[in-house]
Amino acid sequence: MGYLLYYGHSAFELDVSGRKVLIDPWLSNPLSPVKPEAATGVDYVLVTHDHDDHLGDAVEIMKRNPKAKLVATFELANYVGELIRDEGRVIGGNMGGPIVLEPGLRVALVPANHTSSRGAPTGVVVMSNEGVVYHAGDTGITAEMALIGEIYRPDIALLPIGGHFTMDHNEAAKAVELLRPRVAIPMHYGTFPVLYGDPNEFARIVTSRGLPTKVVILRPGERFEFKF
């Protein structure tokens, strides 16, 4: 049994294949129930792009977890390697075939329609023994989501719905239509007033379109267990 633990904004803890994985670990965000120092026993840190609300506390967490490895685009991974003074603990990749982290655990970097100062912005697809989880990062709606759905067949899609910088609840519902995941979990909303997206409206639109996807709304600190 794997689980997702939501820390608010776009930050998640993912426990799969016996490994603890943090995605976009901005644990010092205003909604997070924990501080960065609470992140212990971390095996992998995945970062979609270098904006402060996504790179977040990754450097501090890497320093506090000396066995952890970070996965990001080549340029961003190298930048973090310089900051932690250990380039052997970062795995730089790019959009293409999955990165094999270890038996039973692979990560694919996929396109995101956004910006980034170091390397391209991405989403991440985590493939494990328990299922496939797609974290979209920051993105607008893109036609490539249909390909992500076709190739990786995500069981769970973590989708930004806040608007202004990313999809809002209506566009994210279209993303569900393209991806066809079993479960969709909204993120990147409510942290600041500008992020106006409504998770309940997102769920309503998905249901109204007759999509088979189950929408699960997590409050910061809540977890979702799964095995597909």
The strand ranges marked E within 17-67 are: 19-23, 44-46
User: What is the rounded CA–CA span in Å between residue 172 and residue 190?
Assistant: 15
User: How many Cβ atoms from other residues are within 10 Å of residue 99's Cβ?
Assistant: 16
Contact 71, 100 (CB under 8 A): no
Q: What is the pTM of this model?
A: 0.98
- The pLDDT value recorded for residue 74 is 97
Max Cα distance, the chain (Å): 51
pLDDT tens-digit series, residues 133-180: 999 999 999 999 999 999 999 999 999 999 999 999 999 999 999 999
Across the range 215-225, mean pLDDT stands at 98
CA distance 225 to 228: 10
Task: Look at the chain and count its residues.
Answer: 228
The token pair that represents 115 in the structure block: 């910006």
CA distance 49 to 47: 6
Token pair for 30: 């205003």
Is domain 2-221 classified as CATH 3.30.479.20? Answer: no
Q: What is the pLDDT at residue 117?
A: 97
What average pLDDT score do residues 5-13 get? 98
The pLDDT, as a whole number, for residue 186 is: 98
* Residues facing 12 on adjacent strands: 6, 23
The Cα-based distances of 53 to 9, 20, 141 in angstroms read: 8, 20, 20
**Count of helix runs (H) and strand runs (E) in the chain:** 6, 14
pLDDT at 182: 98
The closest of 32, 66, 80 to 218, measured between CA atoms, is 32
Question: Nearest to residue 101, comparing CAs of 150, 45, 23?
Answer: 45
Map residue 153 onto helix, strand or coil.
coil
Is 119:14 a contact under the CB 8 Å cutoff? no
Domain boundaries, the chain: 2-221
User: Do 189 and 161 touch, CB atoms closer than 8 A?
Assistant: yes
pLDDT tens for 24-75 read: 999 999 999 999 999 999 999 999 999 999 999 999 999 999 999 999 999 9
pLDDT reported for residue 62: 98
